[in-house]
Amino acid sequence: MPDIVIHEVGLRDGLQIERDTVPTATKAAWARRLAESGVDMIQLGSFVHREKVPQMADTDELFAAFRDAGPRPVFTGLVLNEKGLDRGLACGVRYFCMGVSASETHSRKNTGMTTAEAQERIIGAALAARAAGAAVQVSVQSAFGCSYEGIVPESRVLDIVRRYVDAGFPIVSLADTAGHATPDQVERLFTVLQEIDPSVECACHFHDTYGLGLLNCHAALRAGVTYFEAAFAGLGGCPFTAVTGGNVCTEDLVHLLHRLGLRPDIALDPLIDVAREAGAFFKRDLPGRIYKTGAIKWATEATKAT
């Protein structure tokens, strides 16, 4: 994969909070169009309780539709426990995302377990996934703050990371579930994380609840983060937080990277198309900006020329 990896999570994190269920055929069409953009990874859904998160009830069917797809993009799935992992393995998922919350309150609301209990189960599931030949990315949710508890001690976040690394899982995402992160905090925490083990591959997942999403992505980039998770049109939000906000918008993030001379191979037009279709489907203005304004023409042409 390229040095900077774009992980499009709109079909999972973007849609999970929406009340209007998107038909499976529409999700599949959006996934194919997103793949045309050249993003590296696409999260098709999560293997969670169908009644608790009805938008994800068709995740198995969606993965089955892409089971014979080529190696790029990588289609990923989120699991929270062993039952979800079994479902994912049964429909051929080769890359799993799993995580725990650094906030005890958020952990109990999201999984019904304490952070320690959840991490024990996640590491067990991650080991089982790896034994089955699948890749695993682990994460720390509420890593930069919690809408229930407020400040989350950085030492707690780093302790969780150490347990992941000790268990042999080097791809670690820090997720700003509540959108509380600031650029200085992001740069500091990711810098310390990489000092734990230089072989760790860092991923970031920011929500734009308070308007700092892209600033935090830029800070993460400066700190050496290589995996960036984002959702088309800025959709999303965790249904188990007190104040929820959308994800960093994929097309806005790609536009920023283009302005920095990075990832010129990722095409904006397919991302913009999906964002506009999502806006039409949900019949409202969505948080993204570039799908409304379009890219700066001269800047786009200069990026393609590099």
pTM: predicted TM-score of the whole model, two decimal places: 0.94
The domain of 243 spans 5-305
pLDDT tens track for 85-138: 999 999 999 999 999 999 988 889 878 888 899 899 999 999 999 999 999 999
- Flag whether pLDDT at 303 surpasses 90: no
- Smallest CA-to-CA distance from 248 within 222, 211, 294 is with 211
64 vs 49, higher pLDDT: 64
What local confidence, expressed as pLDDT, does residue 199 receive? 87
Range of lowest pLDDT (177-181, 184-188, 242-246): 242-246
pLDDT-derived band at 239 (thresholds 50, 70, 90) equals low
What local confidence, expressed as pLDDT, does residue 243 receive? 61
CA separation for the pair 207, 212 (Å, rounded): 8
The per-residue pLDDT of the chain, averaged, comes to 92
- Average pLDDT of 5-27? 95
Our count of domains for the chain comes to: 1
Instruction: Specify whether 91 is catalytic.
Output: no
CATH of the domain at 164: 3.20.20.70
What local confidence, expressed as pLDDT, does residue 306 receive? 64
230: tokens are: 């984002």
Q: Catalytic residue among 146, 202, 204, 238, which?
A: 238
What local confidence, expressed as pLDDT, does residue 109 receive? 83
pLDDT-derived band at 269 (thresholds 50, 70, 90) equals very high
pLDDT-derived band at 68 (thresholds 50, 70, 90) equals confident
Q: Of the spans 61-70, 110-119, 142-151, 259-268, which averages the highest pLDDT? A: 259-268
